[in-house]
Amino acid sequence: MKREELKNLLGESATDGLIDKIMELHGKSVEKHKTDIAALTSERDGLKIQLVDAAALLRTNLTHPFTNRSCATVSNHFAESFPSPVLVSRPVLRYF
């Protein structure tokens, strides 16, 4: 916003004091938005870094917290130890 634009917009009622007050209010508003943008940009950048770190961690060979073995090894061991249930046929009881 420029002083000349305000003078043209307000016409003859534009005094220097009025224009100064409008410019001051506008400046405060702009500065608040700049501060908000800077804070949000900083937060976004921090989250991007966290996302990259988390993705890198997932790509590495994670270890199971209790066995200290890789999660893939633990998953395979579990699958071998507890195979999927197989339906067993039961004898059919017939009453005559």
**What residue spans of 1-87 are helical by DSSP H?**
3-10, 16-59, 71-81
pTM, 2 dp: 0.50
Euclidean distance between CA atoms 91 and 96, whole angstroms: 16
Distances (CA, A) of 47 to 37, 50, 52, 58, 60: 15, 5, 9, 16, 20
Q: Where are the domains of the chain?
A: 3-78
β partners of residue 70: 63
Q: Per-residue pLDDT tens for 73-96? A: 655 665 666 665 555 455 555 555
What the block records as the tokens of 9 is 């917009």
Q: Which of the four pLDDT bands, split at 50, 70 and 90, describes residue 36?
A: very high
Question: Burial level of 7, CB count in 10 A (0-12/13-18/19+)?
Answer: middle
Q: Per-residue pLDDT tens for 40-60? A: 999 999 999 999 888 777 766
